[in-house]
Structure 1
Amino acid sequence: MGNVRTRGIKVIARKLLSSYPDLFKPDFEYNKKLVAQLVNTRSKKVRNQIAGYITHLIRIQEKLKRSLETQSIETSQSPSGEA
């Protein structure tokens, strides 16, 4: 079973992703440093939870992009004149 994230963590993470969509990467360590610069939080735990959720969302987005790309490649390569 996974960890449950609070609504506040999710709201902050989504706001950061919508404000800075091109800054974040699927690397937790990179995102952790970036969150430390963008958000004024005293707690390492909160910073890490925000960075972890952002990393989670970025990885999901990348999986969706890859699956859509493979589907578009498969449909463009399939022969259209089959009987």
Structure 2
Amino acid sequence: MGRIKTRISKSVTKDIMDKHAGKFSSDFEKNKQAIESQADIASKKLRNVIAGYATRLKKSGKY
């Protein structure tokens, strides 16, 4: 079973993807770079969680 993501990571991811949907893809490494350029995320762990959730949303076709 996977780890449950917190509400803040989901809401931040959805906000960033609403504003910059074209900059994200289904590739995790590219999404990490896109997160760094689009948002000021303090920790590397939170950046990776957001990039992973963005990757999952792109793969599922929701964005």
Fold shared per TM-score above 0.5: yes
Given the two structures, how large is their TM-score scaled by the length of structure 2?
0.92
Q: CA deviation at 1:38?
A: 1.1
CA RMSD of superposed structures (Å): 1.1
Residue matched to 2:23: 23
In the alignment, the residues of structure 2 paired with residue 13 and residue 42 of structure 1 have an alpha-carbon distance, to the nearest angstrom, of 14
2:25 aligned partner, one-letter code:
K
Given the two structures, how large is their TM-score scaled by the length of structure 1?
0.71
Extract unaligned runs of 5+ from structure 2.
Answer: none
Q: Which has the larger radius of gyration?
A: 1
Extract unaligned runs of 5+ from structure 1.
Answer: 63-83
Q: Larger RCO: Structure 1 or Structure 2 (Cα < 8 Å, ≥ 6 residues apart)?
A: 2
For these two proteins, the number of residue pairs brought into alignment is 62
